[in-house]
């Protein structure tokens, strides 16, 4: 089974993200901070990360950089979600350590397809 880690400091956005992906045969894990995501990574293997860009203390980019330092997570797909203006799209972003981006206003319509493309390896640019 595919394990996906959803990282967001907002319960509402974590719940919405889970609802979008629930129809798929994924095991959905949650973390409410970048720090907790790194703890989960050390304890439970996962295949893809969906992470909010803006979080308290450790943001999505910094969390992604630190995650890539953990053995086994060097090449894991990381999809950022945010309502901020962010460069890139689902398939590519010019930011190191992040493989794709979905705008939160398009989350319901774009996230499922974006996740599938990264899991299938069709969007990997890292």
pTM: 0.92
- Percent of the chain with pLDDT strictly greater than 90: 81
| Chain position carrying tokens 């390896």 | 121
Cβ atoms of 101 and 93 closer than 8 Å: yes
Which of the four pLDDT bands, split at 50, 70 and 90, describes residue 121?
confident
The ranges assigned to domains in the chain are: 2-119
Cβ atoms of 67 and 44 closer than 8 Å: no
Give the span between the Cα atoms of 25 and 99, in whole angstroms: 22
Report helix, strand or coil for 54: coil
Give the span between the Cα atoms of 101 and 111, in whole angstroms: 9
Q: Which two structure tokens, joined as six digits, stand for 35? A: 């720090």
- Percent of the chain with pLDDT strictly greater than 70: 96
Architecture of domain 2-119: 3-Layer(aba) Sandwich (3.40)
Which of the four pLDDT bands, split at 50, 70 and 90, describes residue 18?
very high
More confident residue, 91 or 40: 40
Q: Backbone phi, then psi, for 31, in 5-degree steps? A: -145, 140
Residue 122, pLDDT > 80, answer no
């Amino acid at each position: 089974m595919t394990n996906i880690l959803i990282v967001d400091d907002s319960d509402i956005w974590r719940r919405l993200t889970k609802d979008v992906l629930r129809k798929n045969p994924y095991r959905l894990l949650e973390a409410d901070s970048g720090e907790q995501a790194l703890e989960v990574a050390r304890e439970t293997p996962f295949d893809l990360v969906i992470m909010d860009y803006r979080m308290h203390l450790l943001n999505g980019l910094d969390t992604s950089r630190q995650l890539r330092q953990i053995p086994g997570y060097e090449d894991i797909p990381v999809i950022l979600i945010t309502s901020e203006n962010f460069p890139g799209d689902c398939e590519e972003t010019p930011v190191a350590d992040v493989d794709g981006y979905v705008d939160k206003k398009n989350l319901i319509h774009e996230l499922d397809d974006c996740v599938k493309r990264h899991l299938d390896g069709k969007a990997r640019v890292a």
